[in-house]
Amino acid sequence: MPDIDFSVQIPEVKLVTDLQQIEAANLQNWQSQVILGDCLKVLKQMPEGIVDLIVTSPPYADSRKKTYGGITPDQYVAWFLPISQELKRVLKPGGTFILNIKEKVVNGQRHNYVIKLILELQNQGWLWTEEYIWHKKNSFPGKWSNRFRDSWERCIQFNKEQDFEQEVPDDWEHCIQFNKQKKFKMYQESVMVPMGDWAKSRLKNLSDTDKRRDNSRVESGFGKNISNWLQRKMAYPTNVLHLSTECSNKNHSAAFPKSLPSWFIKLFTEQGDTILDPFLGSGTTCVAAKELGRNYIGIEIKKEYCELAVSNIEKAKLNTQLITLTQSMENSSINSDYDAYYKYLVQHVLTPFYEKRFEKLRKLKLKDILKRKNPYLFKAKNIEFAQDFIKSIVDAFLSSQEETIFGNLLEGFAIYISANLYGGFKSSLNSIDLEFKKNEIYYVVGIKSGTFWGNSDQINRMKDNFKKAKQALRNQGITDTIIAVNGCMYGKDRNPLKEDLDPDKSYYKYAGQEFWNFISEDENLYQEIIVPIDQEAKNKDELFKTTYNTKVNEMTFEFMQYFMNNGQIHWAKLVDYVSKKGEVKLEASPQQMTLDLDESSDFEDTLDLADALDFEEN
């Protein structure tokens, strides 16, 4: 895949209410559009072969009657086939069509309209390539007399036609995919997942069979060599997607989570490709496309939902961190030597850290910084040289600023790792920095720099906020076990579990190696972070020294003008400036130590070094 070009901008979204506003033959006129209208009529106006991926969830049979009128199960196939014919026409030969759909229950049994639709789509020329299961992690509880609650839906993949003959064993037997041809675009590395805890025990002691290719006993042609997975940290995912149903598009009756289209967009497209959703709803697919640097086209028949979609898309921003991570994974092997992490640390932690560091140093003013520092402390340290004093206050200022700046940026690195591995995200809950789910546990994480970050009152406030966060998530429908974590980026804590009489206030404190291992499932990451920091520090050191020395010399000169008297620091004047009530007006010291260059001297000529040595010998 090509390198990322962050200079390429996705055009701003435009609401089209009349197709005559679009020049039909021009592809660019279709991109970044939300089109009000019946999708069949709109699709017929679109040029052929302009879309790389279609992701959509059409109205289910007899569902959303108040929203879309409803289509009966018996009529559903006949209603959808003309639409799918046009979808096939506008899709590129190597493109993919993902259909999110679910059967309904009629008279106590599942209706077979989805199965009939799949068969008819095959007759229409679509290739049924794969079926993904969307497992709804937090489906709403309920009870029925002859079945259990639904907690999964189909995401069916269709392609148009090419060389894709290999069969893949399933983790779930109902996984379907459709394409136009056998060869289609697919970037599997972009959705890789951590190897998981199973690898630690399974790969620890390998048998002789594990160290060679072991062919299937049923002569299926499949085989495995377990030793190939040694040292690998990432693996290809299964076709079961464990995603929550909650999403921000609550003003639509059938919105799916943004993580669903995002996953398929990363898997089947690259930056600059075009995504189509012919049943746009509140715009989730287009929002995901925009955040990932893809063009998009959305079609929606309801005006209020078109306007809602436009509003949601306008708020979306290009997610450079997510794109960078996806690209890094695509360009690296499973046994990556941390290239993706190094690249992120340089681009999103170290570079902005030094930029902010330089900016604060350049803007630093003597009179501002003096008011923030304790003159008694520096006098107690017996500082007598002006430059020593200035270096001390500059170093103290930078140190206090740098801890916060670097900590916030490194916190972003932890969130970045979690977003890639588990779909984690920056939390909006008070005192919570990160939310993600791993191994059927929902984690809320408050990230701090080191272990000694707060007093007892601050820790109690954190525990109160952990409790409030858990309650808020349960109210949102999270049914998983929720565990709170205080993550510290450096340091150590021998007793991670911090129990409280109130279980909702109990939490784990993971520090240093334990924290980074918790985030990444890599017990060596805490050491690897040093590598790019060391390299980048060396690259920036010379420039920083020059900037630092210039600032220290500049401030020393100014300090000597106002706070020196006869070559000595004027401590009383300095204390007055910092602490005396009322406004203290600074004036340059009238008396400075000067050299008395009297013409009369014991030496008629200026002594050079040799003269001095001769004089001493005499």
Task: Say whether both 267 and 302 belong to one domain.
Answer: yes
Task: Say whether both 240 and 299 belong to one domain.
Answer: yes
Q: Say how far apart CA 614 and CA 601 lie, in whole Å.
A: 18
Task: Say whether both 166 and 285 belong to one domain.
Answer: yes
In a domain, 254, yes or no: yes
pLDDT of residue 325: 55
User: pLDDT tens digit string along 125-176?
Assistant: 999 888 888 776 555 555 555 556 566 565 767 666 544 444 333 333 333 5
The rounded percent of the chain whose pLDDT value lies above 70 is: 73
Task: Say whether both 67 and 110 belong to one domain.
Answer: yes
Task: Say whether both 298 and 207 belong to one domain.
Answer: no
Domain limit, last residue, from 275, 291, 306: 306
Q: Which range is most confident: 59-68, 201-210, 212-221, 230-239?
A: 230-239
Task: Report the CATH number at residue 289.
Answer: 3.40.50.150
Task: Say whether both 182 and 210 belong to one domain.
Answer: no
Residue range(s) defining the domain that contains residue 221: 196-231
Task: Say whether both 217 and 289 belong to one domain.
Answer: no
| pLDDT, average across residues 198-208 | 63
Average pLDDT for the chain: 79
Q: Say how far apart CA 388 and CA 379 lie, in whole Å.
A: 12
pLDDT of residue 524: 79
* Helix, strand, coil shares, percent, the chain, to 5: 45, 15, 40
Task: Say whether both 26 and 148 belong to one domain.
Answer: yes
Is a pLDDT exceeding 50 seen at residue 601? no
Q: Say how far apart CA 491 and CA 450 lie, in whole Å.
A: 6
Q: What angle do CA 602, 604, 608 make, to 5 degrees?
A: 100
pLDDT of residue 219: 57
Domain count, the chain: 2
In a domain, 536, yes or no: no
In a domain, 524, yes or no: no
In a domain, 42, yes or no: yes
Task: Say whether both 204 and 268 belong to one domain.
Answer: no
Task: For residue 18, name the pLDDT band (cuts at 50, 70, 90).
Answer: confident
Domain limit, last residue, from 306, 330, 354: 306
In a domain, 132, yes or no: yes
Backbone angles phi, psi at 221, to 5 degrees: 95, -10
Task: Say whether both 190 and 200 belong to one domain.
Answer: no
Cβ neighbourhood burial of 242 (10 Å; 0-12, 13-18, 19+): middle
493 vs 252 pLDDT, higher one:
493
User: pLDDT tens digit string along 514-536?
Assistant: 999 899 888 778 888 888 888 78
48 vs 241 pLDDT, higher one:
48
Task: Say whether both 240 and 138 belong to one domain.
Answer: yes
pLDDT of residue 66: 54
Is a pLDDT exceeding 50 seen at residue 597? no
Strands (E), 24-83: 33-36, 51-56
pLDDT of residue 414: 93
Q: Say how far apart CA 42 and CA 131 lie, in whole Å.
A: 28
pLDDT of residue 64: 53
| pLDDT, average across residues 326-351 | 67
Q: Say how far apart CA 26 and CA 168 lie, in whole Å.
A: 39
In a domain, 380, yes or no: no
Residue carrying structure tokens 């026409």 = 89
Rounded (10°) CA dihedral 74, 76, 79, 83: -160
- Amino acid found at 345: L
Of the candidates 424, 392, 346, 323, the one whose C-alpha atom is nearest the C-alpha of residue 559 is 392
Task: Say whether both 225 and 95 belong to one domain.
Answer: no
pLDDT of residue 537: 80
Domain limit, last residue, from 247, 272, 306: 306
pLDDT of residue 249: 43
In a domain, 151, yes or no: yes
Q: Say how far apart CA 282 and CA 306 lie, in whole Å.
A: 7
In a domain, 445, yes or no: no
pLDDT of residue 253: 46
593 vs 101 pLDDT, higher one:
101
Contact criterion met (CB below 8 Å) for 309 and 33: no
| pLDDT, average across residues 562-572 | 89
